[in-house]
Chains A and B, each alone.
Chain A
Amino acid sequence: MSNHTFILNGEKVSVEVEDNVRLLWVLRDVLGVTGPKYGCGIRVCRACTSHINGKAFNPCAVSVGDIKATDEITTIEGLADTVKKDLHPVQEAWLKHDVAQCGYCQPGQIMGAVALIKEHKKSGKPITDDDLDQIRNICRCGTYWRVREAIRDAADHM
């Protein structure tokens, strides 16, 4: 066991856990942050998608030992705070389009969508169908169409 420090949703946290435990389990099982979901554990389903220093990543595939003390980890729980609001514009769009069905994949979908929109805002390129096709988050309820609609809508409000 060793000590690991990083910034989680704006606050410094320290945990005692083995280096090779994947960050997803540190978040969920050690810190009790359960927004990021387990869906495959091999970076395929993207249900655990969160942000590291503002960019999307999958904590199921990162050992906690590889996280630096200065790394800022944002999970769905901390997303709204990044814009200092009750809800992030992408979450608002998700509500407007009534995207969620069972909701299990939604934290990952939203965190992925935020990163995608940010990337396009930065490059100035519009989000095309091809870009939406690249989204790898699985929704087993099949709400893909509303995900597409909500992302296009949110992009106009970010």
Chain B
Amino acid sequence: MPDPTTPAIPPEEAPGTSRRRFVAYVLAAPALAIAVRSGLINPFGDTAAAAEIARDGASSQSGVLAAGGSGPAIATTPQVFDYYDLSDLLTDSCRPTNNLLTLDVGHDGVVRFLLPRAEVGQGITTSVAMIIAEELDVPLHRVQVTLRDADPALLYNQLTGGSNTIHSLWEPLRAMAASARGRLSGAAAQQWGVSPSSVTTKDGAVYGPVGQVLDYGQLSAAAASSTTREVSYTLKEASQYKVIGTRVTRVDAVDAVTGKKQFAMDVKVPNAKPCMVAHGPHIRATPKSLNNQAEILKMPGVTHVGLIATGVAVRAATFGQCIDAVRAMQVSWNPGTVDTINNTEVARVLRSVELPMPSPAPGVETFEATFRFNFRSGSPLETNAAVADVRKDSAEIWSSLKNPIIAKQRIAEFLGMSADAVTVHCTTGGGSFGRHLFHDAAQEAAAASKLFGVPVRLMWHRTEDSRHGRVHPASVSRARAGFAEGSVVSWDMRHTSVATDYTHGLGEMYSGALTSQHYPGFPLSGNLTVAQGIYTLSAGMPYNVGQLTNFLNEHYDYDTFNTSSVRNVYSPDTATVRELMIDEVAKRMGLDPLEFRRKFLKSPRMLKVLNAVAERGKWGKKMAPGTAQGIAIHNEYKAVVVCLMEIDARPHTVNRKLKGGGYTGPRVTRVTIGADSGPIINPSGFEAMLMGGAMDGIAQALTAGLHYDQGLPLEGSWDDYHYTRQWNAPFVVDAFTVPSEETVPGGAGELGCGVSQAAAACAYSRAVGRMATEFPINFHKPLDFKVKTRTPPYPPSPNNGLKYVR
């Protein structure tokens, strides 16, 4: 007989154990279906954690970590962020509709969950399946997690962002799975006529006291209910976990390595022929006319061509023929939004709207610097893509969407249909990096399908994905540290950014509309209000630096540049500023960067991660001249992350040539990155997120920026936009999890990015002996590429590929 290990929880048993018991619902259904309660379970976030930070901050003030003959750390008053952050906001916004999530146990024994979040590579379908498998005692392969169609009833509970999926679903998933386990156990006990406390569950079956076994599938009907009613459940203790915390290869890995994994353009929809859109020579330029429509229609494969709001759409038998058609188009365009603006102008304007800083107190030495961050592309490898089938009274859309509800509502509005008539299916995304917060491709696909009267499979050309796709806004950041008698006594930051577009709201139309609002006499106000709220809820200060002020201002309207939140919002830039300033202040105080951080960090939790990374990455080891280590810390998403990088900035490395060309520059040779992000569901997936974040951080610090010229980025593909490539990648990446005392999982997806950008910047600055103040550091070097064509908007497709067979 198998060895059943988890005691079953009888549903009707009166509370009598020391463990907390909760209440969920069994739904009226022929097979077992469980839902959780709605409501504000924890409306004010984890105030205990904030209190701890405040207390720890005060304790480090005692100077127990004092070193180098410096003064004590002067506690910084806890900020709003320390009590209530963006993770709390997003999770709380889901609570009112958590009762609409359901877990089904089928007669076939398969457990099904419709996930109202986007899988774009962050591995949430794996983590979600693991949480369910754990609490339900069912093998992982019997848990089927499917991306849920857009469902407006979910309100704010179908937004994917802020590294918040697991944080927000942790409670409801466990509640549903534990309730289901209780119901199945109770049903088995009843059939066997034994006490519910005498049965156990394991591997998707219930085991009785004398060797009886019933599979969950066999019990599903008996465990179901003819009426919806309350059931109580008990959660496992973390010490009982057998799935959570184990290294699992992601559930879609086999499909990914065999080419079976389906992305939007792989979905088979009858007659949905390839479709592409020619966008203008300036961002947000709109088409005036297509001057050779008849000629385009005669081209091989072309079936339809016509104007939509954002450009000229063409549908053909193959994408290759769409590309040829776009290249042959003669289009007249209206102006765009920034036709005469370039990078320098943007930086000048941003500086002119910077919020003022207070005067430094007398007798306080100050160090002040201004940093500049250029636009960065959020282009994932899968370009913007969507399938649309618009019929007379209804429509169907397939796309990777992080806010599918607002996509459904806005497309319905555009089509003049009720939202119910528009079905929006969510496909897995080939990356997102903020792109899929917006439904740009789905909107265009709907417009093209409506115009042509046939289904379309719409995809952006890479060159336009790079130039017209959404970008991380450029920013200017000014910081000032005041110090006296060996202590940091004040810290002021003024971050001034091109507006980040937040008009997706909390994922649906009403919050989206409020964000888009221009209040009378106060342009920008809706979006700016949201921006400042997000800044406040994400701007942590991990150090005790005395009196702190930290404010954001944004400029240009949200629809001037094509912006979005690109793998973190403000944190990569603000963390880079903070950590560079810390290194500089440490130097002025005669402290090593690690020593300084040890002394001035706010909490033992941060110190623990710092020490773990410093030890594992061998901080302070002897480095050759022109090479250096850099270390940085960041706290966000209920997590603490530390990154230690080694960089080689010696001329022979910087100027190394690569066969076949490619941008080289200083090379990060080793990365050690560790994080405490609460209980980790899948360490393999979590470490992958840290590694990926590190590659983004390296790119953004060293190589990757967009040069705007006459209203269009010059970069138009991966050969000119220098995202990290294998030849820029570190020789060793050591990502790891630091054991945590937290009980709720924090974030993963964005966590590694900002801290890595900061670590790369610090390492580089130390290697060259001067603090870098503009990023990427190569931004003002002469362009190392030939700029691709602006008109036509796509470069020619090469046909010499057989020359390069290897």
Contacts and interface: CB of A to CB of B under 8 A. Distances in A.
Contacts of A110: 257
Given A76-B258, A100-B257, A136-B660, A142 B695 contact: yes
A120 B263 CA distance: 33
Given A29-B274, A52-B805, A61 B382 contact: no
Interface residues of B, number: 83
B120 interface: yes
A66 B802 CA distance: 8
B242 interface: no
Given A22-B797, A77-B258, A138-B723, 12 more contacts: A34-B259, A39-B462, A41-B797, A45-B462, A94-B253, A95-B257, A98-B253, A102-B120, A102-B429, A134-B660, A136-B726, A142-B693
B801 A104 contact: no
A22 B799 contact: yes
Interface in A99-126: 99-107, 110, 115, 119
Contact of A103 (B261, B725, B797): B261
A40 interface: yes
Interface stretch (B157-165, B596-604, B625-633, B728-736): B728-736
Contact of A104 (B258, B263, B731): B263
Interface string A32-47: 1011111111111101
B718 A138 contact: yes
A62 B257 contact: no
Interface of A: 1, 17-18, 20-22, 24-26, 28-30, 32, 34-45, 47, 52, 55-63, 66, 75-77, 79-80, 87, 91, 94-96, 98-107, 110, 115, 119, 129, 132-148
A93 to B, nearest CB: 9
A133 B318 contact: no
B799 A140 contact: no
A52 B688 CA distance: 32
Interface in B292-313: 300-301
A29 B303 CA distance: 15
Given A62-B801, A66-B802, A102-B121, A41 B323 contact: yes
Contact of A60 (B428, B718, B794, B801): B801
B719 interface: yes
B256 interface: yes
B257 A142 contact: no
Contact of B266 (A34, A42, A132): A34
A44 B122 CA distance: 25
A91 B243 CA distance: 24
Given A42-B717, A44-B717, A58-B801, A101 B459 contact: no
A3 B113 CA distance: 47
* Interface residues of chain B: helix, strand, loop or mixed (majority): loop
A57 B804 contact: yes
Contacts of A98: 247, 249-250, 253, 684-685, 688
A145 B729 contact: yes
A17 B805 CA distance: 23
A55 to B, nearest CB: 5
A61 to B, nearest CB: 3
B659 A29 contact: no
Nearest to B263: A104
Given A101-B692, A104-B380, A43 B801 contact: yes
A76 B462 CA distance: 22
A38 B261 CA distance: 14
20 contacts: A20-B799, A37-B381, A38-B383, A40-B718, A41-B797, A44-B718, A61-B797, A66-B802, A95-B254, A95-B257, A99-B257, A100-B253, A101-B121, A101-B688, A102-B380, A104-B381, A134-B658, A136-B726, A142-B693, A148-B729
Nearest to B466: A40
A20 B800 CA distance: 12
Contact of B802 (A24, A62, A87, A134): A62
Contacts of B660: 134, 136
A25 B319 contact: yes
B123 A101 contact: yes
A119 B797 contact: no
B805 A56 contact: yes
Contacts of B723: 138, 140
A104 B691 contact: no
A38 B462 CA distance: 9
Given A18-B300, A57-B801, A102-B380, A140 B431 contact: yes
B798 interface: yes
Residue from A98, A105, A143 with most neighbouring chain B CB atoms (10 Å): A98
A153 B319 CA distance: 37
B739 interface: no
B249 to A, nearest CB: 5
A66 B804 CA distance: 14
Contacts of B726: 132-137, 144, 147-148
B249 A103 contact: no
Contact of B121 (A40, A59, A94, A141): A141
Contact of A21 (B261, B321, B684, B719): B321
Nearest to A131: B726
B265 interface: yes
Interface in B408-428: 428
B696 interface: yes
Contact of B257 (A30, A106, A115): A106
Contacts of A135: 726
B727 A134 contact: yes
B71 interface: no
Interface in B761-806: 794-795, 797-802, 804-806
Contacts of A101: 121-123, 431, 688, 692
A128 B455 CA distance: 49
A20, A29, A115: which has the most chain B beta carbons within 10 Å?
A29
Contacts of A39: 381-383, 462, 718
Contacts of A40: 462, 717-718
Contacts of B263: 37, 104
Q: Which of B250, B696, B730 has the most CB of A within 10 A?
A: B250
Given A76-B258, A142-B691, A145-B729, A134 B320 contact: no
A52 B802 CA distance: 9
Contacts of A21: 301, 318, 320-321
B801 A59 contact: yes
